Each structure stands twice: as C-alpha cells, then as structure tokens.
C-alpha cells in the first residue's frame, strides 16, 4: 500500500472512529476475491434479452443469507440497509423467490446461489417446460393441436428461470471454503438479532458482470456493423461446428444432390446449457445420446468393411441444439442450398438418439411424428423402420415401445428436417411422454445422475477402464442402434451377431466426458497442440461463441471429432509432414478423407509418445444459424441467439462502513488531502529557508 495515499489516512481515521474493530482484520477482510464463481450472462434473440447483468461499475449490497421464503421480507421491505446482496441456498433458488426479487429489484443489488455438491432429490430444471417450442416443426400450420406442448409437456419441472431477464447480477458459488467465509462474515456482522438493525460495519458483496449488448439481436448486430471499421463488438452469435462422418467417404469438394444415392442419417445432439454461463454438464440431456451413437459407429466399423450395406450411413452430431436447433437447422439449410455433400432428397430416413441414460424398468421408447405419418407412403416407411428397430433389439435386455399414435415428437433435431420435408424418422428415448430427466439443462445433470460410481481406491487409470452398470446398459442400446442402422441401410440381418458395441469404450467415453477429460485415452487421441483442452474435470457443453470470436473449436466438438476418427478411421503409416499434405501420395486424398495427427501412447519399452496419422471421413461443418448467414436478425424460422460481450467478471466481499460514515470519511479524507497539499506547498515554497543547505532552486518537484 502506498503510504502517501489519502486512502490510507482515511482508513486510519475510520479505525480511530471505530476503536472496537480490530484494524488488522478489517484490512484483511477488505476485498476477498471470490474465485469459484460463474455469472449468469446476457443472451439475446430476435425479440428479447434474457439473463443478468450488473451496472457498469458493479453492484454492491449488504449480504443477506436467505433462510426461508418468509425471510425475504428483510431484503425486500423491512431491512434498513438496502440494497441487499442475497445469498441463496439451492433449495431457495425457485421461481417464486426469484420473481419476487426481480419485481423489487431496487432493493436487490444481486444474488449469489450456492450450488451444493449433492443434487436436490426433488429435481430442478431452470429451462422451459416446452423446449424450443417456437422453432420445432409443430405450429399453426403443422399439427396445430400438437403445437406449444398442447398434448405433451416434455419438461414439467421446468421453471423457466433460464429465460427470464434480471437487471441485477446473479452468480453461482461452489459450496466450499469461500462460501463458509461469506456465511461467517454474514453471521458475525449482518445477521439481524431480534429484528433490530445490525450495526456497521457490515459485510458486503460486489458483483461485476456488466453486459455491452442490449434489447435484442437485431439492435446489437446493427451496432456491431456500425462499429465495424474499428470493431467494437457488442455481441456474437452462438455457434460452433457440427461433427459428421459417413461409412463410405464422399468427395467433400462435390456438393449437392448425388444421383442414385440414399443415406440413412443417424443423429444426436452435442450441447447443453444451464442457468449459469458455461456450466453445462448435460449428462443425460446430451451425453447419454451422443456417447451411444459414437459407440454404435464403432460397432459398425468392421461389418461395414466386410459386408457393406447398400445405403450409406451418415453420423451427425449437432451443436447448439439447446438454442433453437442451431446445428441441425444449419445442416438442413446447407442441404437445401447445395452446400453439403448430399441433399435432402438423398436422405432415406433418420434415426435420432435422444436421452437414453435414465431408464425406468427396461423400456425404451420409439417416438415418431403423427403428422407426416398421416401420409400413407411415409407411414409405411416409418412402420418398416420401427420393425427394423424391434428386430435389432431381439435378444437384448430391453423392450421397445411406441407412445400413443397422437403424441408429437419430443424436441429433437428430426423436427428441423421435418420442417423441410416429410422424411421418415424415429427418435429413440428413455421416456414415454414427459422426460425422465429431473435435471434437464441444469448443473445437476451430471455424472452422479448417471450413477457413475467407482469402487473406492481405484486410481484414475483404473477408473477409466472400470465398466460401470451405466456403461453396460448404454452399450446394449448402442448395439441395438448400430444393428437398426445397418438394417435401415439395407444390410443383411445375418450380420447382427457381428455388430456389438463395446462396453469398455462406452465406459471410457463416459469417464472422459463426465468425470475427467485429462485421461490417457483422450490424451492419445488428440494432437500434441490440443492437449491443453484436457482438464482434470469434464468439459463444459455450452455451445458458446467460438465461431465469430475466431477462437478454436469448442472442446466437446474437438473431442467428439477425434474420438469418432479413432473409432471409425484407420491408423496410417504417414509421417507428420505427409499427414498434413497427403495429396501428393497415391491413394490418399483430402477430398475423400480427413487426416489427423494424434500423439498416441508411450510404447511399453519406450519413453516417448509415438504419434501417428489417422485417416477417417470425419469432418466439421459450421453450426452457425442461417439467420446470421442471411443477415435476418429478426428471423422467426432460425435461431437468432447471441451472447453479449463484457469487459470482466468479478466477485468479491468486504466490510462496508455506513453510508453516513462513508460520507464523513470522504469529507475527512478531502480535508486531509487539502491540508497536506497546503503543507507541502508551504514547505516547498519555503524550502530554501527550511532546508537551506541541500536544495538547488530549479530542482523542487512540489
């Protein structure tokens, strides 16, 4: 601390005024930075802004740890020291409490939600009850009586908080040491005793999360454009990349319709979200589905070489589906505009793997669209698909059932294809109507929810290999999916015994995607320069803004790309240089294949990793909403979600003196400053008299 600064002097005076306080502890408690916090940020669509933000200089409030809903009275009306910064235990993070605070936001400076280590048993979902209701296939014009979840509410636990707008900051706090410090500070200083006002100094919290963008996407994109000479971006479109591959490679430079080609599309979604920015675990919501599809792709690897089916199979992993189907709507758009290797006419049928990790009993459900099935020829193809799925499940440990005929499709990428044309399709899921998922799009949809428990005493490498019951169950589902795809592609049923998903691979994927991405398998799969993506924690599945910020690809996308390449591609003998430029070689072509250099493993008798070049048909395709491609920022057909930019995000706690006292302190501080200026002026002007021997006239700095 600069001893010359008046701040120090005023603090001395504060200490002197408050002899009862131990000055050291005040100084120590001043500004404890909270590091395990995540804010809720502002997102915008064509018509609204949602999320949270602080004022430009951050919001400060006196801490109040809420103990019950009734206790809200203190921060909202009776407490004498507004505004308040409310600390919520997770059971109190409800719609009712949040909306009461939203409506009294003058007295609320902000909210910090403590995220516990154990999930709430009754369930929690901050998402809407009817996810993506305006951008699916059902509308006034298409199955009007099925639109807006009229017949089936998919996410009945959804409280919609993720789609509200709050004009105060909301942060999450991990339940840990820091949360204890905060509570201790509250109980020592702020807790109202006998409902009498607590005395100053009080413990306060400051949250910074000021957001640059306002109003809606059109407004902020216009501002982006205005400032485009000196780019001062206000917001960026949400988006990343889809991952896709085919069992027979296509020349990726030849786009549009392919004559005499029919393709079975196998789809799953990659992303997830939660109330807070960038914390999205999506265990059941997305990972159960895409891990199953990855395992199915692996199960088909051998048989599609030995006994290739007539039709091709396209695996597609869609990004940004949580935000009005960014990835699937982009692929449909590209297919319609001859910007993809096939077009919609080439698609024979679609099998989508939805949430399949939380089964009740032994049931899986086959969802299809009653509207397109009212056309007899589409219905026939769907019936055949359902029959193929049942054949594929024969001898496995579960039963496949169809919901009642009048039920619409659950929210799914298939809906975006049906918007374009009546393609036969089925969505596989573990729920009949409402989701089994109690934690849809929330921070609690995590490894614990999928029962990824390991025997005590296993080290990380042993855990990676340990086959959990969940992995075995998902491997069975993957076997069924793989067999059904093979049959859909006109493969021979006699090959079914050769199509078996490997529970070992499923367990490794679940461990890497949900427990610890920095494991030996993921390390071996990635290029050396990508290893910093791996963390001792799972990756986050929020789609983010990687596309326009020109930063690298989202971590889950990268991982799925490399795993799919490992599971379906071939290790080649190309060296690192020819891996980057394989076109000079015979039988190699970047038009047909993609080439990834991976760092591999350390051989048993060696000391260094042995990298190699993997050839596969795995590609990335832009998952940026067509609304941004077309400049239609008010589009109602395509996702228009953008994320605001911000300068910085910060949270800290400290002790505040009362407002009056602060004013007094400031006054005293100003007085001291003036006095000291006068003194120094006096001293320096009389310096030649006072320090007659030392000074040279021109050298005085004051």
Ligand X SMILES: *[C@@H]1O[C@H](CO)[C@@H](O)[C@H](O)[C@H]1NC(C)=O
Question: Minimum Å distance from CB 697 to ligand X?
Answer: 52
Find the binding residues for ligand X in span 385-404 (CB under 6 A): none
Largest Cα separation within the chain, whole Å, is: 110
The CB density around residue 569, as the number of other CB atoms within 10 Å, is 21
Site string for ligand X, 213-252 (x = CB under 6 A): --------------------------------------x-
- The sign one gets for the Cα dihedral 503, 507, 508, 514 is positive
Backbone angles phi, psi at 679, to 5 degrees: -60, -50
Burial of 406-432, coded b for 16+ CB within 10 Å and e otherwise, reads ebbbbbbbbbbbbbeebbbbbbbbbbb
Among 12, 199, 571, 690, binds ligand X (CB under 6 A): 571
For ligand X, the binding residue among 28, 47, 215, 228 (CB under 6 A) is 47
| 3-state secondary structure (DSSP) of residue 365 | strand
Token pair, residue 274, equals 């939660």
614 touching ligand X, by CB under 6 A: yes
Rounded least distance, CB 640 to ligand X, Å: 7
Give the pairing type, strands 59-65 and 202-208. Answer: antiparallel
Question: Binding residue for ligand X (CB under 6 A) from 148, 151, 589, 684?
Answer: 589
CB atoms within 10 A of CB 356: 26
- Does 625 help bind ligand X (rule: CB under 6 A)? no
- 620 part of the interface to ligand X, by CB under 6 A: no
What number of CA atoms fall less than 13 Å from residue 583's CA on the CB side?
Answer: 4
Binding range to ligand X, per CB under 6 A, among 16-24, 308-316, 511-519, 588-596: 588-596
Q: Considering the rule CB under 6 A, would residue 358 count as an interface residue with ligand X?
A: yes
What whole-number distance in Å separates Cα of residue 377 and Cα of residue 369? 14
Q: What share of the chain is helix, strand, coil (3-state, %, to 5)?
A: 35, 20, 45
> Which residue, 279 or 668, is less far from ligand X as judged by CB?
279
Considering the complex, state which of residue 36 and residue 684 has its C-beta at the smaller distance from ligand X: 36
Question: With binding defined as CB under 6 A, does residue 350 bind ligand X?
Answer: no
Return the residue of 60, 97, 322, 378 that touches ligand X, per CB under 6 A: 378
Query: Does residue 375 bind ligand X (CB under 6 A)?
Result: yes
Decide whether 124 or 496 has the Cβ nearer to ligand X.
124
- Interactions with ligand X, residue window 419-478 (CB under 6 A): 422, 450-451, 470
Report CA-CA distances (Å) from 423 to 193, 380, 541. 67, 12, 29
Taking CB under 6 A as the rule, does residue 147 contact ligand X? Answer: no
Least spacing, CB of residue 632 vs ligand X, in Å: 11
- Choosing from 636, 637, 654, 668, the residue that interacts with ligand X (CB under 6 A) is 636
Of 7-36, binders to ligand X (CB under 6 A) are: 35
In the complex with ligand X, the residue whose CB is nearer, 80 or 667, is 80
SS (H, E, C) 410-439: CCCCHHHHHHHCCCCEEEEECCCCCCCCCC
Residue 537 near residue 516 (C-beta atoms within 8 A): yes
Length of the chain: 702
Interacting residue with ligand X among 605, 692, 693, 701 (CB under 6 A): 605
Contact 206, 39 (CB under 8 A): no
- Residue of the chain from 11, 38, 41, 46 that contacts ligand X (CB under 6 A): 46
Interacting span for ligand X (CB under 6 A) from 40-48, 298-306, 536-544, 663-671: 40-48
Any long-range contacts for 660-669 (C-beta under 8 Å, 24+ apart)? Answer: 661/14, 661/17, 661/200, 664/17, 665/10, 665/13, 665/14, 666/10, 668/10, 668/13, 669/6, 669/7, 669/9, 669/10, 669/13
Interface residue list for ligand X (CB under 6 A):
35, 45-48, 50, 134, 163, 193-194, 251, 253-254, 357-358, 375, 377-378, 422, 450-451, 470, 521, 524, 566, 569-571, 589, 591-592, 601, 603, 605-606, 614, 636
């Amino acid at each position: 601390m600069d001893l010359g600064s008046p701040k120090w002097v005023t603090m001395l005076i504060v200490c002197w005024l408050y002899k009862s306080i131990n000055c050291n502890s005040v100084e120590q408690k001043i500004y404890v930075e909270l590091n395990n916090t995540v804010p809720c940020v502002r997102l915008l669509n064509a018509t609204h802004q949602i999320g949270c933000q602080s004022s430009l200089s951050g919001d400060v409030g006196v801490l109040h740890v809420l103990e019950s809903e009734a206790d809200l009275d203190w921060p909202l009306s009776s407490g004498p020291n507004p505004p308040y910064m409310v600390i919520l235990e997770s059971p109190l993070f409800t719609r009712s409490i949040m909306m009461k605070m939203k409506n009294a936001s003058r007295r609320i400076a902000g909210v910090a939600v403590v995220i516990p280590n154990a999930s709430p048993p009754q369930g929690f979902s901050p998402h809407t009850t009817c996810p993506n209701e305006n951008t699916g296939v059902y509308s006034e014009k298409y199955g009007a009586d099925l639109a807006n979840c009229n017949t089936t509410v998919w996410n009945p636990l959804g409280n919609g908080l993720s789609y509200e707008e709050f004009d105060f900051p909301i942060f999450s706090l991990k339940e840990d040491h820091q949360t204890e410090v905060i509570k201790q500070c509250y109980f020592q200083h702020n807790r109202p005793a006998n409902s009498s006002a607590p005395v100053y100094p009080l413990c306060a919290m400051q949250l910074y999360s000021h957001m640059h963008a306002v109003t809606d996407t059109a407004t902020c994109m216009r501002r982006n454009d205005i400032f485009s000479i000196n780019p001062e971006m206000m917001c960026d479109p949400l988006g990343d990349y889809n991952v896709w591959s085919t069992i027979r490679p296509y020349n990726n430079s030849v786009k549009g319709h392919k004559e005499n080609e029919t393709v079975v599309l196998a789809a799953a979604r990659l992303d997830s979200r939660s109330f807070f920015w960038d914390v999205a675990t999506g265990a059941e919501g997305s990972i159960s589905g895409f891990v199953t599809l990855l395992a199915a792709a692996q199960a088909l690897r051998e048989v599609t070489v030995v006994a290739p089916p007539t039709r091709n199979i396209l695996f597609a992993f869609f990004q940004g589906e949580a935000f009005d189907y960014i990835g699937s709507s982009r692929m449909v758009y590209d297919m319609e505009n001859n910007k993809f290797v096939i077009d919609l006419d080439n698609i024979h049928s679609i099998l989508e793997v939805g949430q399949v990790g939380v089964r009740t009993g032994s049931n899986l459900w086959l969802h299809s669209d009653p509207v397109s099935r009212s056309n007899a020829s589409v219905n026939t193809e769907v019936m055949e698909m359902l029959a193929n799925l049942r054949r594929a499940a024969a001898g496995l440990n579960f039963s496949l059932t169809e919901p009642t005929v009048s039920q619409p499709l659950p929210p799914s990428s298939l809906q975006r294809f049906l918007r374009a044309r009546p393609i036969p399709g089925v969505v596989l899921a573990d729920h009949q109507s409402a989701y089994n998922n109690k934690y849809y799009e929330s921070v609690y949809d995590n490894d614990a929810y999928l029962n990824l428990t390991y025997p005590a005493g296993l080290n990380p490498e042993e855990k990676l290999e340990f086959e959990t019951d969940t992995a075995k169950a998902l491997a069975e589902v993957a076997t069924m999916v793989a067999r059904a795809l093979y049959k859909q592609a006109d493969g021979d049923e006699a090959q079914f015994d050769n199509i078996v998903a490997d529970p070992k691979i499923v367990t490794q994927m679940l461990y890497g995607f949900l427990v610890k991405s920095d494991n030996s398998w993921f390390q071996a799969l990635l290029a050396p320069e990508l290893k910093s993506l791996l963390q001792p924690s799972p990756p986050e599945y929020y789609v983010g803004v990687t596309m326009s910020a020109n930063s690298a690809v989202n971590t889950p996308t990268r991982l799925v790309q490399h795993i799919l390449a490992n599971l379906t591609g071939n290790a080649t003998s190309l060296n690192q240089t020819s891996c980057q430029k394989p076109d000079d070689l015979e039988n190699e072509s970047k038009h047909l294949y993609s080439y990834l250099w991976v760092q591999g493993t350390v051989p048993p008798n060696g000391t260094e990793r042995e990298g190699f070049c993997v050839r596969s048909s795995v590609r990335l395709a832009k998952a940026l909403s067509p609304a941004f491609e077309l400049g239609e920022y008010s589009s109602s057909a395509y996702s228009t979600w953008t994320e605001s930019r911000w300068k910085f995000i910060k949270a800290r706690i400290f002790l505040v003196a009362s407002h009056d006292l602060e004013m007094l302190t400031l006054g005293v501080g100003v007085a001291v400053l003036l006095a000291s200026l006068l003194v120094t002026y006096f001293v320096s002007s009389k310096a030649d008299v006072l320090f007659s021997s030392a000074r040279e006239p021109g050298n005085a700095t004051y």
